[in-house]
Structure 1
């Protein structure tokens, strides 16, 4: 880097040399040098930037990258470091397919005991938070400033390279006005997470730890447990005589997720559980109660049923409905949101994580 920008380089070097950032989620510092005209940083060689995912299908490997990006931000925020320049070009993919956060030239560490840093506006066009765009001087930066831009980045990843606030010249105006469109991402849970992160009100945005606990990252066994707990609520136990307004509202939210659900289970199992009384109405509330009783009283049969394959959209739809009803904020569902994402999501995409125990070296070049 030219010495006219030398302070940016030295700032990045200072951050990367912190022992706390010797982490699989952060690009690794190797060496530094300088001559009469330039300063140099030698960093870990990676394969490509996140721009690689343009027009790629959002398969399971993309979800892993999303989780890895959030995990890298968690590492920064745990050390009170604000990145301030999140964008696709600053997420690198290493030789093992793992995402690593890079480019800390304008990153800053919060002063001890403070949660806000005020500086001039910094960042890249269309990859800046709403509060950053509104104030050019004395701009407030907090951890939730990074979170909004990380939400834009997640949408970019899951949509194959699109921006939630638009891909044209109106993008920054839309960020300030809070006008977004998530139509390129069909996953209800992904939409819910992104909407939370890109909220125009900074205080409404989640912390990165809360992002990693979001149901978008849950594995199937945890999703089934959630459905079982919903099926244990009084509304579901009384499914045959449930409030019709509640039933209609749930059906509207579920759409086709539970349509003709009895025909999707082995018929002998339905007959065994339903009996002559036809205990379970063929609506979503009836299905949730059926799931609860299946896992409560017919454990061996439950082990033979892959609920997530039979009803791929059910969990997301029920989660959204329960959230709107306030059910997720009370016991026993509340406890489902207290655990971090499973470590398998932040592991390397193609193999075990490399050993990062490489000592930091001092260059003797001048």
Structure 2
């Protein structure tokens, strides 16, 4: 009996999950073995062309890795997905770049691949081609629009660990593909001075692994080439080692000489353990390099050099060092405790290690001493004459401009001030009083409690002070506000985005809008990113909710009062000041023949929020107020003026029966009528005839 079509279909369909996985395993194995016949048979049996083997490899990716164009075409024709990713996010396209097969790259690009697509570690096909030295693939990808200077994109968690950020040039330099390095720079315009997230440029990558015998020669070639291309010789690795120290570790006198001839390098710079280039040369007993460094003026009074040569039994080296005045002097450190709590450990390390002094400044421009990233470079810890400081390092020309600006901030209470400065070798070192955290970091720490109202007072004053100096900030981000040990907030502009106002109101308006977002960010405790927070995130049960909404609205609408008057907004008033304000209004309007006219202007656009207030108030309290023990019987209407009258009468003529019932008067009324203060305030302010009634000063401001 012939099998039916249905039974044939059942025979070719996997009978269980185990069978499907078995077929997938066999398919991947057949692809890796480049066995076209087995691949076709397995696909006929129902093997999934997009099934995944160990680590998420698909048959297509395995075919690419096997460098088999025919199999790649076959699998694509059978429905293989070119966009499928391995467990690490890699695709067939990045594999093709590693293999260096231009035909496969073309084929995959024709299937809609993004030229700059990257895996979970940020590697693009272009980076992989550079890393594996595949010149033809590199040139092809460049011709198709690959971004030469793209930095490795990684997750936020990895970025916090300073991973990622490398470029194709760094990959080629690290793997010592000299010809690829030349192509990237000379033909493709690669930027030699880009740094990765550990502040390392291509020169550091080239020299870092140059000690190995098989890599030494290419590392030297790449080093010389990059130096001739004008690369920054002051970049350091993650351990604080400069290019000079790495060249000494490689024991390359040619590179050491070339670096010193640049004239930009600090010969006495040291790594995180206090090792200078000379000390490294002495430890390696490299007489020629040590002699070269001594001749160029390297200090011999740091690092206990004589003790090192004595351990090495290096008599000739000892003679050389003594010729240049080296002496054995044991180092001792007194016990020292920094003021800063946040930066305590880093400051203690800075205090203990050797660093060449820059005037009165001791600082270390490497990642473990960096406290803030900016678009203009990092901010680093420092000790200036023993005082803990934050250090901004820039070229002298730019540094002079920055210095002039920060000197203008000297008399401002909440703008970051310049403490001291130093100049050396074409660089300006601006020193600022050290802060503990920026506003974003402070809000992210659950143990750091903040008085939001007090914080916003300082923030408003900082922006007012900057506007008074004639500048609009244009980047009012939480990371630009710094908090010191006492909780005082300062505003800075290390990214140089400020602009001269010069009558341009749109610049001030832009700052006001940014300030409105910042208000919401602070009041919501920084739970959402600055650009995502909205009024919906405010806690509606907050006693300042209505005032906060109005303050944000006033900032967004570019209120004509400006920051000077908005800094006196009811949001900033204390509870007692708000209640005192409500009490005072009746005294001001009681003798007016048309009391209701006081609130008429506002009523046209904003209605009284409590049109039936007599039903909200405690009935017992209202009864007592309408029938006082002494005086005339009163009848209170639902009008706002009568509510203000009741508040005034109740507080001016206290009754123990009421106090025992409702407790604190201010607490009771502000909680019962939370929108009353801002309604009365805005009603008066918007009525030209009575706007002066809204003028009130909170002593706490």
Normalising by the smaller structure, the TM-score range is 0.5 to 0.7
**Map of 1:184 onto structure 2:** 538
| 1:278 Cα deviation after fit | 5.4
**Map of 2:456 onto structure 1:** 66
Separation in 2, partners of 1:288, 1:53: 39
CA RMSD of aligned residues (A): 4.3
Separation in 2, partners of 1:163, 1:198: 18
Match of 2:435 among 46, 52, 59: 46
Match of 2:669 among 311, 317, 332: 311
**Map of 1:330 onto structure 2:** 687
**Map of 1:152 onto structure 2:** 517
The alignment partner of 1:311 has SS state of: helix
Q: Give per-residue Cα distances to partners, 1:279-312, cap 9 Å, x unaligned.
A: 225786643221133356x2798xx773321123
Looking at both structures, which has the greater relative contact order when contacts are Cα pairs under 8 Å and sequence separation is at least 6? 1
Does residue 423 of structure 2 align to residue 30 of structure 1?
A: no
**Map of 1:272 onto structure 2:** 628
Q: Give per-residue Cα distances to partners, 1:233-277, cap 9 Å, x unaligned.
A: 679978xxxxxx99x953xx2499876423585986664279784
- Indicate the larger mover: 283-292 or 257-266: 257-266
**Map of 2:532 onto structure 1:** 166
Distance 1:331 1:63, change over 3 A: same
| 1:5 Cα deviation after fit | 6.8
Separation in 2, partners of 1:255, 1:54: 42
Does residue 404 of structure 2 align to residue 14 of structure 1?
A: yes
Is the contact made by 1:156 and 1:164 (CA closer than 8 Å) also made in structure 2? yes
Separation in 1, partners of 2:690, 2:520: 27
**Map of 2:485 onto structure 1:** 95
**Map of 2:117 onto structure 1:** none
Distance 1:57 1:145, change over 3 A: farther
Is the contact made by 2:462 and 2:490 (CA closer than 8 Å) also made in structure 1? yes
Separation in 2, partners of 1:340, 1:74: 18
Q: Give per-residue Cα distances to partners, 1:20-74, cap 9 Å, x unaligned.
A: 5333312231112243474322111111111112486998811000011101112
Which residues of structure 1 form unaligned runs of 5+? 117-139, 168-179, 239-244, 346-366
Q: With the length of structure 2 as denominator, give the TM-score of the two structures.
A: 0.36
Separation in 2, partners of 1:37, 1:150: 37
Separation in 1, partners of 2:476, 2:503: 19
**What pairs up with 1:218-297 in 2 under 5 angstroms?**
218-231=573-586, 232=589, 249-250=607-608, 253-254=609-610, 260-263=616-619, 265=621, 271-272=627-628, 277=633, 279-281=635-637, 286-295=642-651
Q: Give per-residue Cα distances to partners, 1:203-255, cap 9 Å, x unaligned.
A: x46411021121111233432243235544679978xxxxxx99x953xx249
Distance 1:255 1:43, change over 3 A: farther
Separation in 1, partners of 2:449, 2:594: 33
| 1:194 Cα deviation after fit | 0.8
| 1:329 Cα deviation after fit | 2.6
Is the contact made by 1:155 and 1:185 (CA closer than 8 Å) also made in structure 2? no
Is the contact made by 1:33 and 1:41 (CA closer than 8 Å) also made in structure 2? yes
Is the contact made by 2:513 and 2:556 (CA closer than 8 Å) also made in structure 1? yes
Is the contact made by 2:481 and 2:490 (CA closer than 8 Å) also made in structure 1? yes
The alignment partner of 2:421 has SS state of: strand
Residue correspondences, number: 292
Separation in 1, partners of 2:673, 2:449: 18
The alignment partner of 1:41 has SS state of: strand
Is the contact made by 1:228 and 1:292 (CA closer than 8 Å) also made in structure 2? yes
Separation in 2, partners of 1:15, 1:145: 21
Higher Cα radius of gyration: 2
Q: With the length of structure 1 as denominator, give the TM-score of the two structures.
A: 0.63
Q: Give per-residue Cα distances to partners, 1:150-206, cap 9 Å, x unaligned.
A: 111111100111367525xxxxxxxxxxxx54442431101110111123xx5x464
Separation in 1, partners of 2:690, 2:450: 26
Is the contact made by 1:32 and 1:40 (CA closer than 8 Å) also made in structure 2? yes
Which residues of structure 2 form unaligned runs of 5+? 1-375, 378-392, 597-602
